[in-house]
């Protein structure tokens, strides 16, 4: 109010005037010089001027300050605005109208500034919020803390655009997180299915991958690492599943094979149905719980092992069965096992199980098929041999029958016997023909095959040859006998005519008869023996046709009686069968030490000369000791000749016939003792 | 070392005897092998190096031999003498005499005595440490029921097998009387007798392809464990060919044993589990003797005709040294179903 100011000023001026007047009065009173008065008044004015100046300076300062403040405020406002890329609500221009006072300006600016600051801090907090979220989510995604996403807020750019940018980023991260979460959950579910199938504890597995995954409710870490680990665990489990599935299918296949091989009953097979039906399943078809668990697999494996063991034991049985089949076949076709053949499998080999059973089976099967083939080719000849043998039997029967005194007596079944005799005669007639035909067949067969036809180990042709020869000899002998008889009767007739009486025919007949009885007995025994020994046909021709050749045999003396000198040749010829003879014979009596061994035992006892060295006498025939020496050992022949004179020694011959008196007890020697005796003999 | 023999039979020992081999033994201390033969020689070999280290002659065929220690040994001969050799110096002397060929000789580490069995139906014990000369070395003479065919020692026990299937068991500490007078469980002539390394019994083989496993302890419990089994037989067309079992040798570590027969085969058996563990491929001739080395790594096989068929032509006599694989001699207890691999 100017007026009041003016008033105040005029008041002050009046007061200043009065004060001056008063001062002048004082000076007048004091008598101050004019210089002094001027000086004082100058001082006064100077001081007044100083005071004025100070006040003005102050006012100036405050004005400058105000201006500065405004400038500052405006500057700050500008910066804030630029940071936020916004204009303040009130435009500056508006405030500049009408030359508002500085104070007002400052006010406005301050207000604006306040406003902007507030907005900035709001914005900042928004940013912070977003950034926090981003950081959090990034941490969840990549806990190893890549700093990519934790950008420090650039305070110079707090615009909405930037904020929106961050918000978009945040959204993206959220989405990623959600995606990863779904992925993880997917993996977890796959893992769970695998674990169920494989019988593994899935919670445990999840915990191993990451502790947070085991917790059903809590949030899950979704870092790359976790996802990778999950993926790898799943792959691993898939591999295991495939592996086990493969294994299980293999086991199932083996099981089916074994069942097939051993005809397992259906009930047993049903138990394992769930295994066998999956035998061709593919990976994703097997989803049942615990179908592939370790325990289950072990269980199946144990079952397969059990079946295998069963098979092995059955295998043994099978092998033994096959072996007996083979032996049966061989027996039927009169083939003998080739003892030196390494492929031959003994019962012991089977029992021991030291060799591979399937290999053995293969071998036996091969042998069986070989024998079957052979059997087929030999069939015809074998049939003929049968015929021949039965013909020979009939002939033998016939011979015996012919000797029977009572053969014409009427009795029960006499007509049948007569019929048989007739047939037998006819058969006997045919024998040579049969033999010839058989020979030619065998020769043809041998030519075709390139090998000998063996019958129980002996060449059939040689058997036939010998038989023929012997038969021929027998025929000759018969003829000789007949001639001799004729001669005898002639002599008797002469004598009768000379002396007038017939010597009793019974004497000569008796002697002959006695011999014949022996022969008869012998033959019967022989033919019976033949029958008994037929399985070892080896001996058959010898047994029947050349009883005389049986050395060391109860039949020997009797037969020799019949044959006389002519037998020597026969014996010599048929000695080749001796080894067979002794073999057969020795297998019949109870086994004495050394007696069972084929051939290896025949040489047990040292020759006689050695016996004396040992100061003991052995009971075994010297001749038997050396079958490898030529059969024409005189010793052998002389013995039967000795025996011929006295039929009695039949009993004595029951034991092995001796040229040396027997010892009361038998002496045993070890191989070394024999060898030493031999060594000293040399 | 010839390559002529199949590698499956082992390495052939060079410079073998020129006639049949009666026995062979490995030393207890090294791979030295002592071989006695019908060519009247006793030979010492280094089996691993395949080198003949020494040869000693007797007056007659040598029927048995044994080591004293690695540097000396004894032999029993058909010339009725028992001789002693010191290998390093080549010195030999006669330890003692019998009245008939001496068939077996053994050295007992427990008593430090040499024990011989002869066809003069006696057993004699000799002390080799005594003053030299047959008059001073004899410790005792023990009559036997028959000619001695085989001997074996383990610890303090001595088993004597004679003709007539007698078996006497002695305690070496008291030889005045046999501890047991027995008869062979087998029905045929005894070929060989060998004690188990664990000293509980002995194995006895006969000429009839059989081996009996016997025990010393006469209690029912132990005797119930005894058994016999057939071996070294061949089956053809329903007939069995039976071969004498000439040799038995126990593996020093596993306690399993090998048998050798006139069929030319060597079989390895597990006596406890009653199983055959292995059969080696056929040797050219009868197996006359077997011996395991002390560490069980080697098996010496004498493939030499034993005159079981008298004087016949036969394959040349040879000695084979086999390297043993564990699988051939290690016992296999009866299998218990194993837990399947997971």
> Which pLDDT band holds residue A539 (cuts at 50, 70, 90)?
very low
Chain B CB within 8 Å of residue A247 CB: no
**Shortest Cα–Cα distance, A672 to chain B (Å):** 7
Chain A CB within 8 Å of residue B117 CB: no
Is pLDDT above 80 for A547?
A: no
Chain B CB within 8 Å of residue A499 CB: no
**Shortest Cα–Cα distance, B19 to chain A (Å):** 11
> CA A611 to CA A633: how far, in whole Å?
19
Is pLDDT above 70 for B320?
A: yes
Mean pLDDT of chain A: 71
> CA A197 to CA A186: how far, in whole Å?
17
Mean pLDDT of A244-265: 82
For B307, the closest chain A residue by CA position comes to A671
pLDDT of residue A5: 67
Is pLDDT above 80 for B98?
A: yes
Identify any residues that bridge with B168 across adjacent strands, giving them in sequence order: B160, B181
> Which pLDDT band holds residue B290 (cuts at 50, 70, 90)?
very high
Chain A CB within 8 Å of residue B234 CB: yes
Is pLDDT above 50 for A540?
A: no
pLDDT of residue B244: 95
pLDDT of residue A531: 41
Q: Do residues A128 and A136 make contact, with C-beta atoms less than 8 angstroms apart?
A: no
A597 and B242: CB-CB below 8 Å?
yes
pLDDT of residue A327: 85
Which chain B residues are within 8 Å of A344, Cβ to Cβ? Answer: 236
Is pLDDT above 60 for B216?
A: yes
Interface test with B, best of A348, A360, A591, A616 (most B CBs within 10 A): A348
Which class for B111: exposed (0-12), middle (13-18), buried (19 or more C-beta within 10 A)?
middle
> CA B310 to CA A606: how far, in whole Å?
7
Closest by Cβ to B342, choosing from A294, A305, A670: A294
Is pLDDT above 60 for A296?
A: yes
Closest by Cβ to B188, choosing from A354, A593, A671: A593
B13 phi-psi bin (left φ>0, alpha ψ -120 to 50, beta other): beta
Closest by Cβ to B233, choosing from A297, A348, A628: A348
> Which of A385, A381, A491 shows the shortest CA–CA distance to A441?
A381
Q: Say which residue, A184 or A511, is predicted with more confidence.
A: A184
Closest by Cβ to B238, choosing from A305, A327, A671: A327
Mean pLDDT of A23-31: 87
Chain A CB within 8 Å of residue B101 CB: yes
Closest by Cβ to A600, choosing from B278, B309, B337: B309
Could you identify the residue written with the tokens 């005071």?
A51
Chain A CB within 8 Å of residue B221 CB: no
ipTM for the complex shown:
0.92
> CA A400 to CA A424: how far, in whole Å?
12
Mean pLDDT of A399-413: 74
For A682, the closest chain B residue by CA position comes to B311
Which chain B residues are within 8 Å of A305, Cβ to Cβ? Answer: 337, 340
pLDDT of residue A469: 87
Which chain B residues are within 8 Å of A327, Cβ to Cβ? Answer: 237-238
Which chain A residues are within 8 Å of B304, Cβ to Cβ? Answer: none
Which chain B residues are within 8 Å of A330, Cβ to Cβ? Answer: 237
Q: Which residues contact A323 (CB under 8 A, 6 or more apart)?
A: A345, A347, A350, A364
B236 and A339: CB-CB below 8 Å?
yes
Helix (DSSP H) and strand (DSSP E) numbers for chain B: 3, 30
**Shortest Cα–Cα distance, B237 to chain A (Å):** 6
Of the listed ranges A8-12, A32-36, A587-591, the one predicted with least confidence:
A587-591
Q: Do residues B263 and B232 make contact, with C-beta atoms less than 8 angstroms apart?
A: yes
Q: Say which residue, A368 or B244, is predicted with more confidence.
A: B244
pLDDT of residue B266: 96
Mean pLDDT of A66-83: 85
The string of pLDDT tens digits covering residues A318-375 is 788 888 888 888 888 877 766 555 556 666 666 666 667 777 778 888 888 888 888 8
Could you identify the residue written with the tokens 């000086």?
A39
Closest by Cβ to B101, choosing from A302, A306, A676: A676
Q: Side-chain half-sphere of A269: how many Cα atoms within 13 Å?
A: 16
Q: Say which residue, B271 or A159, is predicted with more confidence.
A: B271
> Which pLDDT band holds residue A588 (cuts at 50, 70, 90)?
very low
Is pLDDT above 60 for A621?
A: no
**Shortest Cα–Cα distance, B200 to chain A (Å):** 26
Q: Say which residue, B65 or A477, is predicted with more confidence.
A: B65
Mean pLDDT of B182-202: 95
Chain A CB within 8 Å of residue B287 CB: no
pLDDT of residue B133: 56
Scanning A309-328 for CB atoms below 8 A from B yields 309, 327
Q: In what order do the strands lie in the sheet with B318-323?
A: B11-12, B318-323, B298-303, B287-292
Is pLDDT above 80 for B273?
A: yes
Is pLDDT above 60 for B29?
A: yes
> CA B293 to CA A649: how far, in whole Å?
58
> Which pLDDT band holds residue A2 (cuts at 50, 70, 90)?
low
Mean pLDDT of B10-20: 92
B337 and A309: CB-CB below 8 Å?
yes
Mean pLDDT of A639-661: 39
> CA A65 to CA B318: how far, in whole Å?
132
Q: Side-chain half-sphere of B97: how many Cα atoms within 13 Å?
A: 8
State how far the alpha carbon of A609 is from the alpha carbons of A163, A617, A629, A669, A679, in Å.
Answer: 132, 10, 16, 15, 12
3-state secondary structure of A340: coil
The string of pLDDT tens digits covering residues A272-292 is 777 777 677 666 666 676 677
**Shortest Cα–Cα distance, A207 to chain B (Å):** 24
């Amino acid at each position: 109010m100017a007026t009041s100011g003016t008033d105040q000023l005029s008041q002050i001026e009046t007061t200043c005037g009065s004060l001056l007047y008063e001062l002048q009065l004082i000076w007048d009173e004091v008598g101050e010089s004019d210089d002094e008065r001027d000086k004082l008044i100058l001082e006064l004015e100077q001081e007044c001027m100083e005071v004025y100046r100070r006040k003005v300076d102050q006012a100036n300062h405050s004005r400058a300050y105000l201006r500065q403040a405004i400038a500052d405020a405006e500057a700050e406002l500008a910066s804030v605005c630029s940071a936020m890329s916004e204009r303040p609500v009130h435009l500056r221009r508006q405030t500049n109208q009408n030359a508002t006072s500085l104070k007002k300006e400052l006010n406005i600016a301050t207000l604006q500034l306040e406003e902007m600051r507030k907005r900035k801090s709001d914005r900042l907090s928004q940013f912070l919020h977003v950034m926090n979220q981003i950081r959090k989510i990034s941490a969840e995604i990549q806990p190893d803390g890549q700093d990519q996403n934790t950008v420090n807020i650039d305070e110079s750019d707090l615009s909405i655009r930037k904020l929106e940018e961050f918000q978009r980023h945040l959204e993206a991260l959220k989405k990623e997180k959600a995606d990863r979460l779904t992925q993880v959950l997917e993996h977890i579910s796959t893992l769970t299915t695998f674990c169920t199938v494989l019988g593994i504890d899935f919670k445990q597995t999840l915990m191993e991958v990451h502790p947070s995954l085991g917790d059903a409710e809590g949030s899950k870490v979704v870092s790359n690492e976790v996802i990778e680990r999950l993926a790898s665990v799943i792959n691993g489990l898939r591999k295991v599943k495939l592996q086990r599935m493969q294994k299980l299918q293999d086991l199932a296949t083996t099981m089916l094979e074994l069942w097939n091989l051993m005809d397992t009953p259906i009930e047993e097979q049903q138990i394992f149905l769930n295994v066998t039906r999956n035998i061709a399943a593919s990976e994703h078809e097997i989803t049942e719980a615990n179908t592939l668990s370790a325990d289950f697999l072990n269980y199946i494996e144990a079952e397969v092992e059990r079946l295998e063991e069963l098979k092995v034991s059955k295998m043994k049985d099978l092998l033994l069965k096959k072996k007996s089949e083979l032996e049966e076949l061989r027996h039927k076709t009169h083939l003998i096992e080739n003892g030196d053949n390494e492929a031959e499998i003994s019962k012991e080999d089977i029992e021991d199980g030291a060799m591979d059973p399937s290999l053995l089976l293969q071998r036996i099967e091969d042998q069986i098929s070989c024998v079957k083939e052979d059997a087929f080719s030999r069939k015809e000849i074998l049939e003929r041999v049968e015929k021949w043998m039965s013909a020979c039997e009939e002939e033998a029967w016939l011979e015996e029958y012919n000797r029977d005194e009572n053969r014409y007596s009427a009795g029960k079944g006499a007509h049948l016997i007569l019929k048989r005799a007739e047939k037998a005669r006819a058969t006997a007639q045919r024998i040579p023909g049969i033999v010839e035909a058989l020979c030619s067949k065998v020769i043809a067969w041998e030519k075709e095959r390139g090998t000998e036809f063996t019958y129980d180990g002996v060449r059939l042709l040689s058997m036939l040859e010998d038989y023929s020869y012997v038969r021929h000899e027998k025929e000759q002998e018969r003829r000789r006998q007949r001639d001799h008889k004729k001669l005898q009767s002639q002599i008797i007739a002469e004598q009768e005519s000379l002396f007038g009486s017939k010597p009793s025919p019974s004497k000569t007949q008796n002697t002959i008869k006695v011999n014949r009885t022996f022969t008869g007995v012998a033959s019967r025994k022989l033919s019976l023996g033949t029958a008994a020994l037929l399985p070892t046909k080896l001996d058959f021709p010898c047994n029947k046709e050349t009883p005389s050749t049986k050395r060391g045999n109860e039949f020997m003396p009797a037969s020799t009686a019949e044959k006389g000198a002519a037998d020597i040749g026969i014996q010599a010829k048929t000695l080749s069968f001796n080894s067979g003879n002794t073999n057969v014979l020795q297998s019949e009596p109870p086994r004495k030490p050394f007696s069972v061994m084929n051939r290896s035992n025949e040489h047990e006892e040292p020759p006689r000369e050695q016996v004396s060295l040992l100061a003991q006498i052995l009971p075994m025939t010297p001749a038997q000791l050396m079958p490898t020496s030529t059969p024409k050992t005189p010793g052998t022949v002389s013995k039967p000749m000795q025996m011929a004179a006295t039929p009695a020694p039949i009993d004595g011959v029951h034991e092995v016939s001796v040229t040396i008196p027997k010892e009361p007890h038998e002496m045993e020697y070890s191989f070394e003792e024999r060898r030493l005796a031999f060594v000293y003999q040399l | 070392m010839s390559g002529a023999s199949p590698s499956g039979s082992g390495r052939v020992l060079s410079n073998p005897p020129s006639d049949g081999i009666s026995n062979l033994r490995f030393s207890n201390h090294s791979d030295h092998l002592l071989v006695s033969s019908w060519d009247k020689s006793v030979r010492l070999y280094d089996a691993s190096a395949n080198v003949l280290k020494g040869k000693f002659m007797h007056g007659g065929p040598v029927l048995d031999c044994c080591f004293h220690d690695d540097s000396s040994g004894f032999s029993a001969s058909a010339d009725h003498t028992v001789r002693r050799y010191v290998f390093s110096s080549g010195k030999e002397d006669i330890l003692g005499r019998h009245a008939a060929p001496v068939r077996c000789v053994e050295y007992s580490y427990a008593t430090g005595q040499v024990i011989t069995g002869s066809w003069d139906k006696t057993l004699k014990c000799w002390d080799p440490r005594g003053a030299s000369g047959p008059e001073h070395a004899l410790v005792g003479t023990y009559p036997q029921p028959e000619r001695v065919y085989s001997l074996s020692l383990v610890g303090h026990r001595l088993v004597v097998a004679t003709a007539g299937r007698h078996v006497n068991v002695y305690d070496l500490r008291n030889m005045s009387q046999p501890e047991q007078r027995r008869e062979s469980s087998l029905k045929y002539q005894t070929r060989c007798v060998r004690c188990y390394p664990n000293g509980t019994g002995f194995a006895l083989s006969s000429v009839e392809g059989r081996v009996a496993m016997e025990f010393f302890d006469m209690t029912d419990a132990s005797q119930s464990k005894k058994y016999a089994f057939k071996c070294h037989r061949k089956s053809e067309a329903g007939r069995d060919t039976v071969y004498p079992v000439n040799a038995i040798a126990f593996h020093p570590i596993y306690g399993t044993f090998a048998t050798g027969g006139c069929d030319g085969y060597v079989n390895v058996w597990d006596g406890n589990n009653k199983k055959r563990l292995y059969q080696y491929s056929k040797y050219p001739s009868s197996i006359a003797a077997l011996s395991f080395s002390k560490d069980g790594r080697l098996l010496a096989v004498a493939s030499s005709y034993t005159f079981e068929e008298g004087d016949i032509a036969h394959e040349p006599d040879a000695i084979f040294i086999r390297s043993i694989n564990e699988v051939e001699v290690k016992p296999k207890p009866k299998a218990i179903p194993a837990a399947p691999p997971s």
